Amino acid sequence: MYSLLRGRFELIVTILSNIIIDVEPFLVILLRLNMPLHGPIHSFLGATLLAVLTSGLANYLLPYLYRFIRMKYTYRYSQLLVASLTGTYCHILLDAPLYSEMKPFYPLSGNPFLYTIEPGYIYGGCIFSFLVGFAVWGIWKLKQHI
């Protein structure tokens, strides 16, 4: 699967975009801000703005990283943007059923996704996906050494 996407979809940008969105609740806790943990960045509007920022930064930094690890860099900005939007939107869709303070369609109020999926299914699916991904990566690494 990875080889099918290689050169078309930057998985690192997707993963980083999915993770970086949680800087918002981290800062709310760390700085003791008087605002919801999942505020404006945890909306499709905020996720879009974050994806544009993240993909722009990736477009600037990834050529240096690829040169450092001696790999050919073949991505266009549009591919990085799609990868980043995938990461941020998936994060919104996974968080929205869990947190009542989220407003996925901010500035509109409300959360139509709230409690639509049992939290255990979301957490279980994330753990399962991690384990499958880790296994696939491990098999891929083993095949490289054979």
**For the segment 69-85, what is each residue's pLDDT rounded down to a tens digit?**
787 777 889 999 999 99
Claim to verify: residue 54 and residue 74 sit in the same structural domain: yes
User: In total, how many domains does the chain have?
Assistant: 2
pLDDT tens digits for 2-29? 444 555 678 889 999 999 999 999 999 9
3-state SS assignment for residue 96? coil
Determine the Cα–Cα distance for residues 72 and 67; give it in Å rounded to an integer.
7
Claim to verify: residue 140 and residue 106 sit in the same structural domain: no
Among 5-14, 50-59, 70-79, 93-102, where is mean pLDDT lowest?
5-14
Domain that holds residue 48: 2-115
Q: Is residue 68 over pLDDT 90?
A: no
Claim to verify: residue 84 and residue 14 sit in the same structural domain: yes
Claim to verify: residue 139 and residue 105 sit in the same structural domain: no
Determine the Cα–Cα distance for residues 58 and 16; give it in Å rounded to an integer.
10
Claim to verify: residue 86 and residue 121 sit in the same structural domain: no
Claim to verify: residue 89 and residue 139 sit in the same structural domain: no
- Percent of the chain surpassing pLDDT 90: 73
Claim to verify: residue 70 and residue 17 sit in the same structural domain: yes
Claim to verify: residue 24 and residue 94 sit in the same structural domain: yes
Claim to verify: residue 54 and residue 126 sit in the same structural domain: no
Claim to verify: residue 55 and residue 125 sit in the same structural domain: no
Identify whether the C-beta of residue 13 lies closer than 8 Å to the C-beta of residue 88. Answer: no
Claim to verify: residue 107 and residue 127 sit in the same structural domain: no
pLDDT of residue 4: 45
Residue that has been written with the tokens 């979809």 in this structure: 9
